[in-house]
Each structure stands twice: as C-alpha cells, then as structure tokens.
Structure 1
Amino acid sequence: MKQVFILRGLPGSGKSYYAQQLCQELVNGDEDQFLICSTDDYFYQDDGYHFDKFKLPEYHSLNLSRFVRALGQEVPLVIVDNTNIKKWEFLPYLEVAHALGYQVKEVIVGDIKDKSMQHLYSQRNSHNVALKTISKMAYMFEW
C-alpha cells in the first residue's frame, strides 16, 4: 500500500520524532521504503542549521518537487514533515498524492492551543523558534 502522511504542528511539537517512529513502525526503517520530506533539510549547511526567511518560498518548492519525485518513483511511505499551519500549505501535497493513488493521512502532532505546551515547544524546538512566534502560529492554525 502506498501511503503519505502529512504532519502538522508547531515547532518543537515532535513532528520529526513522529516521522522517524512511523518509518520504524511501518517499514522497519528500511531506507528504500520511505522518504521524509522536510523543508528544514534545505536550511542545513556543513556548519549547522541556518534559517533564512527569504529562502522559504524556494525551499518549499524544492521540498514539493522532492515529494513529487518520490511519489513518481512509487516510494511506499512518504512523510511531509512541515508545520503546515495553513491548509493551503499542504494542499499541493494532498492533491498530488491523491492523483498518484496514495492513501493520505493528515496528522496533527502535539497540542496546538495549550499555552503550557507552547512554552514547552519553545524550549525544546531545535531551531530556536521563540515562544512569541510559536504562539502566533498556534493562533493562525487552520483546522
């Protein structure tokens, strides 16, 4: 069965961990059987993570292209590991997956509205996203 999981959640909510666990559980971590598509991947350089908001549109396009290639190659399990705060952000992934015959599951990781969880996410996210930004993202989240 060909499956796509579209993860949604705040920075620090555990999306990347969840993605890794899915790969382990569903395909025993066999790297030929899955691909995790995260726009964050494009911000990594040899010396670490360097976020640049001006690169976001380009990197989101690259991530979508990587996703489409994986589905075209019929990778059995493909996971979109982005925040996907607004529905329009993941709609292209959803449409391509359906068009290519993949079963799609949207998964909200973590608790979006809980203020204490937002504090926790701001402390543990790996990209130093501030609490103020996380709270704004939670407010804008589309269900």
Structure 2
Amino acid sequence: MKQVFILRGLPGSGKSYYAQSLADEMVAGNESEYVICATDDYFYTSEGEYQFDKFKLPQYHNLNLARFINALAQGIPLVIVDNTNIKKWEFIAYTQAAHALAYQVKEVVVGEIKDKSLQHLYAKRCQHNVPLKMISKMAYMFEW
C-alpha cells in the first residue's frame, strides 16, 4: 500500500523527529522505500548552516511540492510531508497529487497546538530559532 503522511504542527513540536521515527518504523529506515519532503531542507547552505529567507519561502515550497510529486511518480511506498501546514490550503496540492496517484493520505498533527506552556518549550527546542511570538501567532492561526 502506498502511503502519504502530511505532518502538521508548530515549529519545535517534533515533526522532523516524528517523520524519521515513522519512516524507521514503517520501512525499517530503508532509504529507497521512503522520502521525507521538508521545505526547511532548502534553507541549508552547502556548509550545513540553516539560513531562513522569507523571500525564498514561496520558491522553496514549490520545490518541495515538486520533490513530493516526483517521489509519488516514482512509486516510493512512503512519502512524508514535514512542514508546519498551519492552514489547510498549504497542503491541499499535496493531498490532491497523492490521491491522483492512488496513495492513501493521512494527516497527522504533531504536538499540542493551543497549550501555551508547550509553545514555550517548542520555542526553546526549535532548531530554526523561531521566536515564541511567531509560534504563538501560528498556533492562533492554525486551522483544524
């Protein structure tokens, strides 16, 4: 069965950890059997340093969607979208492409969205230095 998991959650909530754990559990970490598509990947320099640029965000989201569709076209059994996906429209193209190519789609919310104490924790452990104020704003805007 071909499956797509669309992860949703605040920065620092553990989406990337969840994605890798899911791949390890479902396909025993066999790298030819899964692809994790994260827009964050495009913000890393060749030296491995993360450099967020809000002006490149639309371009990088498009590149991530293209990588996702390519994985589906190749018939990769497990494809995981590791983005915040705060609004439903942000992942509708992923869902439609997956359904068009006969993948089962599961939406997974990682972490708690509205819990203020956890938002503080997420801000502390977020590897991309997203400030608490932005995490709280994203929580407020989150669409169920």
Q: Same fold (TM over 0.5)?
A: yes
Aligned-pair RMSD on alpha carbons? 0.4
Query: Please, what TM-score do these two structures have when normalized by structure 2?
Result: 0.99
Which deviates further from its counterpart, 62-71 or 41-50?
Answer: 41-50
Partners of 2:13 and 2:122 lie apart in 1 by: 6
Could you tell me which residue of structure 2 aligns to residue 5 of structure 1? 5
Of all paired residues, the percent bearing the same amino acid is: 73
Could you tell me which residue of structure 2 aligns to residue 14 of structure 1? 14
Q: Does 1:96 align with 2:97?
A: yes
Q: Does 1:58 align with 2:48?
A: no
Q: Runs in 1 of length 4+ with deviation above 6 angstroms? A: none
Deviation by residue 1:1-41 (Cα, 9 ceiling, x = unmatched):
10000000000000000000000000000000000000000
Partners of 2:20 and 2:79 lie apart in 1 by: 11
Query: Please, what TM-score do these two structures have when normalized by structure 1?
Result: 0.99
Alignment length (residue pairs): 143
Tell me, what secondary structure is at the counterpart of 1:111? coil
Structure 1 regions of 5+ residues with no counterpart?
none
Partners of 1:59 and 1:129 lie apart in 2 by: 18
Partners of 2:42 and 2:71 lie apart in 1 by: 17
Structure 2 regions of 5+ residues with no counterpart?
none
Whichever residue aligns with residue 23 of structure 1, its letter is: A
Could you tell me which residue of structure 2 aligns to residue 28 of structure 1? 28
